[in-house]
Amino acid sequence: MTGAGASTGLVGFARALRHGGVACGPERVQAFVAAVDHLDLAQRDHVYWAGRLTLCSEPDDLPRYDAAFAAWFGGTPPRTRPGARPTQTSHLAALGNGAAKRNGRAPTLKVAASDVEVLRRKDIATLSPAEKRHLRELLAVLEPVPPTRRALRRTPARRGEIDPRRTLKSMLATGEPTRPRHRRRTTRPRKVVLLIDVSGSMKPYADALLRFAHVVARHMPVEVCTLGTRLTRVTRQLRHRDPEQAVAAAARAVPDYEGGTRLGETIKVFLDRWGQRGAARRAVVVICSDGWERGDTALLAEQVHRLRRLAHKVVWVNPHAGHDGYRPVQSGIVAALPHLDRLLAGHSLDTLHALLEEVRLA
Amino acid sequence: MTPEELAGELDRVGYLPDAGIATAAYLALRMHRPLFCEGEPGTGKTSLAVALSQALDLPLIRLQCHEGIDATQALYDWDFPRQLLHLRALEAAGPVDADEAEASLYTRRFLLARPLLQALEDAPCVLLVDEVDRADDEFEAFLLEVLSENSVTIPELGRVTAKTPPLVVLTSNRTREVHDALKRRCLYHWLEHPDLAREVAILRRRLPGVTERLAHQVATAVRRLRELDLLKPPGVAESLDWAEALLALGRTELDAETAATTLGAVLKYREDGRRALSAGVLTGMTGSTIVG
């Protein structure tokens, strides 16, 4: 049995874990204490597995759990990991390290990106606070309609193909030949994926685009990720009803807000982690980015091509595309353009409306 | 029983668990909590449930989830044609009382038990809810109800409660994030690819014809393939396929040429195959690099 003192220690560990960023509520902590009860408290391995099984709920939690466990109980976690870690997690870690290493040669490209951005910022600055507030209100009342796809199942209908099962049923019921019953295919909302670039060069649009994503998420099944030097999934954060809180939570979750962009690598991480498994399959994928790529454009082209083969439609929204004299010359856009279904503008409410229409008809 | 003993039992039926899997299964048994398994495809999520049913000598009931799955496919359905025939038979036998006839229609013999109801009725058993991420959100809520109560109410019949809760194993490939409410009631285990020694042991156990040397070569090659940046890194299922293919060809050794011709057993994308060949994973694998 677990003594009172021991369970206090376990609860303390759970609290430390919560500080470490693992969302383990009281119910999980209770399960943790109960689990240890069934095992041997004296064995570190047992405590480790009891905690990992009850307190964690996704692979992202595992490194945090390992760190918290090592800090609380000392030593290294007993997890076997001779290169056996999930591939994506290690990839994400590599991305983080890469960001630190690459900072050395970042400035040259950063200047190019911010030169264009100076203009953008001026643009936005001309929006008075009142106008900005108004824009938010207008965004909040958008009523996006999801795109549809044909469903597998059929429902009774007044006309359409003959429904043998129901026809037979009614004949059995009356014992007489009856009018044939009909059925038709139903439609279901098609998945939508929003990939939003939150790098420094997209700063003026990031807030508006996240609000836009929040509105979209309230109306259809959608996955939202932010792109920057790394990929962050913010679908959960945007699920919050209140736009202010949702956007604030999303901004908190994104570690690389207003950093650099490595579109190719982040899109690859998205495809590896979620896209290929199902999130992008037959979905309408919208990439919101200005196309300033700091990484390898060949990789970006390859990944957008891969995305194109998985997705139903790939739409690229470039805020700059709406400006006079815009030509798709940014390295990223040039690389991705051959694989896109549409290149749209996205710098104003009007263009966002047009985007919704495009998504609806996709 | 201890986790170590359960590991031994699983080992006996040909499933080689690591400490994590054994503890997870043990706690699921003792705490009567569903075990939620996530992990790369081919890391043995589904086969864990199969092995548990064999090791514990319990029947396995499988519910394969898919889009649009609903209660009539997962829980129960009334056998309409049989009810109709029954009614006809009653009529033919003579005048019937309407109420009585109706009551006789809604009895257990006309109820088709689908996997969930079957699991509640047959418990103790192992219930495998496979690829729960493929089902819709609404189905999750429904599943949650059945799993947390271990019982279900059929309006016409009454409540069916499991005498002992079934051992439930849910698997997910993460095509979609499963709702927190469901995860909270489960033990969560992330399965990883086994380490080299374990993978060799698995190959040897599952395919008795494979020599230690060949198993080692296959496991090493697959390990290297996993380190490459592939669209679909091969899982244990693929290494088993590969070893089996080599066995069918009568090879006792994996040389570069054989590897190249049988690569289709492990890598299912053209890009992956090309990447593996150009990275030179398969070359120079005879003899010296492999510890026999």
Q: Is A226 exposed, middle or buried (0-12, 13-18, 19+ CB in 10 A)?
A: buried
Q: Residue A346's pLDDT is what?
A: 77
Q: What is the token pair recorded at B46?
A: 């589904």
Chain B contact set for A283 (CB, 8 A): none
DSSP state of B209: T
Q: Residue A127's pLDDT is what?
A: 63
pLDDT, average across residues B48-54? 94
Give Cβ neighbours of residue B89 (< 8 Å, ≥ 6 apart): none
Tell me the C-alpha distance between B60 and B81, whole Å.
28
Q: Residue A126's pLDDT is what?
A: 55
User: Are A216 and A234 in contact, with CB atoms under 8 Å apart?
Assistant: no
Say whether pLDDT at B289 is over 60. no
Give, in degrees to the nearest 5, the angle at Cα A253 between A247 and A256.
Answer: 105
User: Are A39 and A46 in contact, with CB atoms under 8 Å apart?
Assistant: yes
Q: Residue A41's pLDDT is what?
A: 83
User: Which carries the bigger pLDDT value, residue B287 or residue B69?
Assistant: B69
Instruction: Among B27, B84, B188, select the one facing A57 at the smallest CB separation.
Output: B188
Tell me the C-alpha distance between A55 and A51, whole Å.
5
- Give the residue ranges of chain A where pLDDT is below 50: 1-2, 82-125
Q: Residue B51's pLDDT is what?
A: 94
Q: Residue A4's pLDDT is what?
A: 62
Sequence ranges of the domains in chain B: 3-71+120-191, 77-108, 196-289
**How much is the pTM?**
0.69
Say whether pLDDT at B216 is over 80. yes
Residue with tokens 């009454």: B158
Q: Are strands A232-233 and A192-197 parallel, antiparallel or unpaired?
A: unpaired
* CATH fold of the domain at B3-71+120-191: Rossmann fold (3.40.50)
User: Are A77 and A48 in contact, with CB atoms under 8 Å apart?
Assistant: yes
Interface probe for B, chosen from A87, A89, A268 (most Cβ of B below 10 Å), is A87
Instruction: Among A28, A38, A279, select the one facing B31 at the smallest CB separation.
Output: A38
Min Cα–Cα distance to chain A from B27, Å: 7
CB pairs under 8 A between A and B: 107
Chain A contact set for B184 (CB, 8 A): 25, 27-28, 57
pLDDT tens, position by position, B23-43? 999 999 999 999 999 988 888
User: Which carries the bigger pLDDT value, residue B289 or residue A320?
Assistant: A320
Instruction: Among B173, B188, B226, select the one facing A56 at the smallest CB separation.
Output: B188
Task: List the domains of chain A with CATH numbers.
Answer: 4-85 (no CATH), 102-145+190-361 (3.40.50.410), 153-188 (no CATH)
Question: Distance of CA A291 to CAs A211, A334, A337, Å?
Answer: 21, 8, 10
Angle separating helix axes A26-38 and A4-19, nearest 10 degrees: 130
Chain B contact set for A222 (CB, 8 A): none
pLDDT tens, position by position, B140-197? 888 888 888 888 888 888 888 988 899 999 999 887 778 888 888 899 999 989 989 9
Beta bridge partners of A184: A155
Tell me the C-alpha distance between B29 and B17, whole Å.
16
Q: Residue B279's pLDDT is what?
A: 81
Chain A contact set for B67 (CB, 8 A): 152
Does B181 contact A at CB distance below 8 Å?
A: no
Question: Distance of CA B65 to CAs B14, B68, B113, B130, B173, Å?
Answer: 26, 9, 16, 6, 12
Q: Residue B144's pLDDT is what?
A: 86
pLDDT, average across residues B76-83? 85
Angle separating helix axes A44-55 and A61-73, nearest 10 degrees: 140
Q: Do the chains contact at A53 and B23, CB–CB below 8 Å?
A: yes
Distance, first Cα to last Cα, chain B:
37
Q: CA A284, A237, A63, A278: dihedral to nearest 10 degrees? A: -20
Chain B contact set for A78 (CB, 8 A): 19
Min Cα–Cα distance to chain B from A41, Å: 13
